[in-house]
Structure 1
Amino acid sequence: MRLASSRPLTRSYWLQSLEENLQPTLPLEGEYNADVAIVGGGFVGLWTALTLKERDPDINVVVLEQDICGGGASGRNGGFVMSWWPKIGSLLSFCTKEQALFLAHAAECAIGELGEFCEQHQIDAHYACKGWFWTATTPAHIDSWNSTLAMCARLGVELFIRVSQEEVARATGSDVHLAGVYERSNATVQPGALVRGMRDVALKAGIRIFEQTPVTTIDPGKSVRLTSIKGHVNATSVVLASNAWAALVPELSKLIVPVNSSIVITEPISEKLKKMGWTGQESITDSQLMVDYYRTTRDGRIAFGKGTGALAYNSQINSTFSEHAQSIELTEADFRRTYPELASTQLTNAWSGPIDRTYDSLPVFGTLSGSQNIHYGIGWSGNGVGPSRLGGRILASLALGSLDEWSTCPLVGRNCKTFSPEPFRYLGGTLVRNAVIRKERAEMSGIRPSAIDRMLAGLAPAGLEDKA
C-alpha cells in the first residue's frame, strides 16, 4: 500500500505567524517499534495519540507526519470550531434518534472541551466562543436553514435563534446579509497555534513524533510495517489520519474526494471593523453550496474563506491544494462583494488547502479490508476542528480493540455513497463544480439559474450544512 504524495507548497497565514516556533522534530531513521503508529500529525492524529495516552499512560505511540504537524488541512483551515447540529438531517439518515442526538451533543460538547484543553495546557490558540451566524446573502438563500430548524424542533432541541435582517447586517458589518440564524455554541481558534500546541502537549506526554517523515508503504500483518525514506516502524495497530491524502489508498479513494478551499487575509483594519460594527468575534457563513466563511482575527484582520471545490486528477495532492489562482480569485471576489466598503483594503496572504469530502459531509471510520489492525477516520469535509476530538476517541477505541460507545457508534463502518473512479470522478466533478459556480453567480445577481445548471448542481455532495 503506497501513501506518499507531494506536499503543500506554501504555508498558511496561521503557520507563517508562528514561523519562529516551527522547528520540526527529527525525521524517522532506523528501526522503531510501537504499540500504535499514527499516520498524520494534524488534529485527528494528535487527538488520537493524546486519547491513547490518557487511557493508557504506558502505551508506546508514534506519529508519522510527512510535513510538519499542521502542515496539511489542520493548519490551513478557517479556524471555525463547529458542531454537527447543521448536519442533523444527515445524521438521522443512518442513525436512530438516540444515536444522532448522542453524536450531535458530543460534537457540541467538544467545542467547550477544546477551550478547556487550551486553558489547562496554557495554549494560546486565540480560542473565542462567540457563536456563529448562518446567513443568506441573496434572496434565493433566505430560509435555507428551515429544514434543519424543523428537524431540531422535532428532536426537542432549540439551538438556533432567528435574527432579523437589521440584526444580522449590524452584527456582520455588511448589509449584504439579508437574513440569518444564530447558534451560540460555536467558537473560533487560530488553527496553526492550536495544532502546534497540541503537538507540544503530545511530546511532553511521551508520544514520539517524527516530522518530515512521509510514509511510502504500509505492509499489513499481525505487526504492521510502515516504511519511510530512512526508516521503518513496526506497530501492533495503525491509524490512518491523513485527511485528503487517504484518497491514495484504493479502498478509501471511493469514500472521499479531495477538493480545495481557499482563504484570503486582509491587512490589520481594527478601526475600520469598529466603524462597521463588526466587533463581536462571531463566525459567519453564507448559504452557498460553495460556502463563504469568514471571521475576524485577534490582530484586527478579516480571514475570508470559500469552499472553492477544485479537484485534481486521480486525487493527487498538488498545487490545486496550496496556490490555486482561480480559487483564490473566486474567494477575493466574494470578499469584495460582501464588504464593498473595503475595496481599498489590501490582502496580505492567500492560500488553498485540501478537504476530504464525503457525499454527506460527515466522516466515516473503519478498518481496512483483510486487516484487523489498520484503522481509518476520514471525510471531515471542512468541519474537523471540533469534531476531530470525537474522531480521536473513536480511533483510540478502534486501535485498542475497546468495545465502547465510540467504537460502536454509527459513524464506524457505515455505508456511504461512493464516488466514481477516474476519469469520471475528475471530469464529472469538474462539470458539476462549474455548474455550481454558474448557478450561484446567477443567484447572487438575482437571476434564475438555467435548468441544466440547477440539475447538475443538484448532483454535488452536501455542503457544510444539509441540503435544503
Structure 2
Amino acid sequence: MRPYWLDRALQEDTSAPCAPLQQDTQADVCIVGGGYTGLWTAIMLKEQNPELDVVIIEADICGAGASGRNGGCALSWSAKYFTLERLFGVEEAIRLVKASEQSIYAIGDFCQKYGVDADYRLDGTLYTATNLAQVGATDGVIAALERNGINSFSRRPLADVQRLAGSNKHLEGWFSPAAASVQPGKLVRGLRRVALALGVRLYEGTPMIKLNEGQPATVVTANGQVKAGRVVLAINAWMASTFPQFERSVAIVSSDMIITEPRPDLLKKIGLTSGVTVLDSRIFVHYYHNTPDGRIMLGKGGNTFAYGGRMLPVFDQPSPYEGLLRKTLIDFFPAFEGVGIESTWNGPSDRSVTGLPFFGRLEQASNIFYGFGYSGSGVGPCHMGGQILSSMVLGLDNEWTRSPLLNGPLGYFPPEPIRYLGSLMVRNAVRRKEQAEDHGRRPRLLDINLAKFAAAAGKADKG
C-alpha cells in the first residue's frame, strides 16, 4: 500500500519506474536513496557542474520513504533557536535560522523555475496554545529571535488566530509568513523528474546490499555495482539499521496522519481557507493544514517506537492511531463530525538526540558522505541538506562545509533495551502530562520530569 500523498502523486505522474541496475557501472558520484535529500543533492550537483556523472540508486521508487508520506509542513528552524544556540553558538544559530527560512522560499522558486506542481503554498505557519498550560510556551524563543534580529513571528489577536486556524480550540497564536505547505508526494516526484531531465542516472528497485570503501568506493547491489569517486548516503531512517555505528544515533519513531474526504464547503464555513500550517505547543505536536481540493490533513508524532532501529511492518500500514487522530480532528473542528476519513498512514522518522540532522564523512573515508536525523521535520531542512552534501562532494570551502552540522552525531541514545523501554516511559509520561493539562489538572511531578527528556530536543514530527 502506498501512503496517500504518494498514491495521489503517482496517479498524475504516470511515468514508468526507472529500471533496476543490471550491470556494473562507473560514476563520478553515487547517491544511495531517492528521497528529498538524495534528489536535492543530485540536482544541486548537476546545476553546479552539468558534466558530473551522477547516479542514484533507490531501493523502491523515489518517494517511497519519508519524502512521500510526511505532513507536508515546510517549516524553518526558528523554533529550534535555543537548541541551535546551545550547540553551535549565537552566530551560527542566527545563520542557520536565516538559512532555514531561505530554504522555504527556495523550494517555491525551484517549483516555479522547473514547472513542478507540488501544491506549494507560501501561506505561513501558526504556533498556538490549545490549553492553558501551553499559553506562553513560545514567548521565550520569540524574545530570543527578536533580540537577535531574526524574528519573523508576530502575536495575533485571538479572534484572528481562531479565524486563520479554523478552530476556537486555540487560545493564543504566533504567525510567521516564512513557512509553506506542500503535497509531499508531488514534490518528490517533481524532484525526480527534474533530476532525470538534468541527466542524473536513476536506478529504482535497486537496494544497496554492501558498501566497499576505497578510492573509488563501490556500492554493491544484487545485480551490479557502482564504482564512484564519491558516495552520498541519503537513506535517513534506514541508516540506523544499515550501519551499526549509527544504531544509537537516532530513535526510529512514527508520525501518524489522517486526511478527510473533500469538504471545501465546510472549510469555507470554519474559515480554514489558506494553506497555513498550524501546530500546537505539545511536545509531540498536533499539526494540520488543508489541501487545495478541500481536505484537512491532521497528524501527531511520537507514537510507535521501533526496537533497535528496525523498520516495523506497521510503518507501511494504515495508522493504528486512527481513532485518536479522528477524535482530535473533531475536537479541533466539530463541523467535521461525520465527515469520512479518506486515508490514514504513518511512517518512520529518524529522531536524533538534539532534534537536528547531522552530516559527516563515514568513518575514515574521505569520499563517503552522509546526512540524516531530520527528526520528523525535514521538508524544508532537506533542501539545506542538499546544499551541505553537494558542497561536501564538490570539495567547496563555504559556510556549509565550515558548519558544525558536519561534525556527525552530537549525542547518542542509551543501548537497547534501555533506549526502547525508556522511550516508552517518556512517551507515556508525555501523554499523561498533556492529558492532565487538557483537563485543567496539574500533572504528576514524575510525568513532568520524564517529559523533560522529550522536550529537551524540541517539538517533534511535523514535517
Q: TM-score, with normalisation over the residues of structure 1? A: 0.94
- Counterpart of 1:15 in structure 2 is 6
* Separation (CA, whole Å) in 2 of partners of 1:214 and 1:444: 45
- Counterpart of 2:181 in structure 1 is 188
Helix, strand or coil: the match of 2:61? coil
1:90: how far off?
1.0
1:465: how far off?
7.3
Helix, strand or coil: the match of 1:309? strand
CA contact (8 A) 2:210 2:220 kept: yes
* Separation (CA, whole Å) in 2 of partners of 1:158 and 1:392: 25
* Separation (CA, whole Å) in 2 of partners of 1:262 and 1:316: 18
- Counterpart of 1:462 in structure 2 is 457
- Counterpart of 1:205 in structure 2 is 198
CA contact (8 A) 1:311 1:320 kept: no
* 2:227 equivalent to 1:227: no
1:172 aligns with one of 165, 172, 194: 165
Helix, strand or coil: the match of 2:302? coil
1:377: how far off?
0.6
* Separation (CA, whole Å) in 1 of partners of 2:316 and 2:88: 36
- Residues matched between the structures, number: 457
1:324: how far off?
6.0
* Separation (CA, whole Å) in 2 of partners of 1:61 and 1:330: 44
1:261: how far off?
0.1
Deviates further, 408-417 or 252-261? 408-417
* CA deviations over 1:265-288 (Å, ceiling 9, x no partner): 000010011111111221101111
Alpha-carbon distance change, 450 to 96 in structure 1, aligned in 2, over 3 angstroms: closer
CA contact (8 A) 2:80 2:458 kept: no
Amino acid paired to 1:123: V
1:253: how far off?
2.1
* Separation (CA, whole Å) in 1 of partners of 2:415 and 2:85: 28
1:288 aligns with one of 282, 291, 295: 282
1:108 aligns with one of 88, 101, 109: 101
* Separation (CA, whole Å) in 1 of partners of 2:114 and 2:320: 40
Amino acid paired to 1:354: P
* Separation (CA, whole Å) in 1 of partners of 2:93 and 2:311: 33
Helix, strand or coil: the match of 1:360? coil
Q: TM-score, with normalisation over the residues of structure 2? A: 0.95
* Separation (CA, whole Å) in 1 of partners of 2:433 and 2:145: 29
Amino acid paired to 2:220: T
CA contact (8 A) 1:328 1:352 kept: no
- Counterpart of 2:60 in structure 1 is 67
Deviates further, 121-130 or 420-429? 420-429
Helix, strand or coil: the match of 1:459? helix
* Separation (CA, whole Å) in 2 of partners of 1:13 and 1:91: 33
Alpha-carbon distance change, 465 to 306 in structure 1, aligned in 2, over 3 angstroms: closer
Structure 1 residue ranges without an equivalent (≥5)? 1-9
CA contact (8 A) 1:310 1:327 kept: no
* 2:311 equivalent to 1:317: yes
* 2:361 equivalent to 1:367: yes
Helix, strand or coil: the match of 2:21? coil
* 2:80 equivalent to 1:87: yes
Alpha-carbon distance change, 262 to 457 in structure 1, aligned in 2, over 3 angstroms: same
* Separation (CA, whole Å) in 2 of partners of 1:456 and 1:163: 32
CA contact (8 A) 1:263 1:304 kept: yes
- Counterpart of 1:266 in structure 2 is 260
Amino acid paired to 1:444: D
* Separation (CA, whole Å) in 1 of partners of 2:151 and 2:448: 32
* CA deviations over 1:202-245 (Å, ceiling 9, x no partner): 00111011111111111111221111222211111111111111
* CA deviations over 1:156-191 (Å, ceiling 9, x no partner): 233111112222111111111111100111111111
* Separation (CA, whole Å) in 2 of partners of 1:463 and 1:429: 15
* CA deviations over 1:283-341 (Å, ceiling 9, x no partner): 10111111111000010000111113321111111223232644333322322221123
CA contact (8 A) 1:82 1:383 kept: yes
* 2:351 equivalent to 1:357: yes
- Counterpart of 1:127 in structure 2 is 120
1:136 aligns with one of 125, 129, 136: 129
* Separation (CA, whole Å) in 2 of partners of 1:130 and 1:325: 28
Helix, strand or coil: the match of 2:305? coil
CA contact (8 A) 1:308 1:330 kept: no
* Separation (CA, whole Å) in 2 of partners of 1:346 and 1:84: 34
- Counterpart of 2:19 in structure 1 is 26
Deviates further, 80-89 or 396-405? 396-405
* 2:326 equivalent to 1:332: yes
Structure 2 residue ranges without an equivalent (≥5)? none
CA contact (8 A) 1:243 1:356 kept: yes
Amino acid paired to 1:164: P
* Separation (CA, whole Å) in 2 of partners of 1:179 and 1:220: 53
* CA deviations over 1:371-427 (Å, ceiling 9, x no partner): 111111111112211121111111112122222221111211056121112111211
* 2:154 equivalent to 1:161: yes
Deviates further, 319-328 or 433-442? 319-328
* Separation (CA, whole Å) in 1 of partners of 2:17 and 2:61: 6
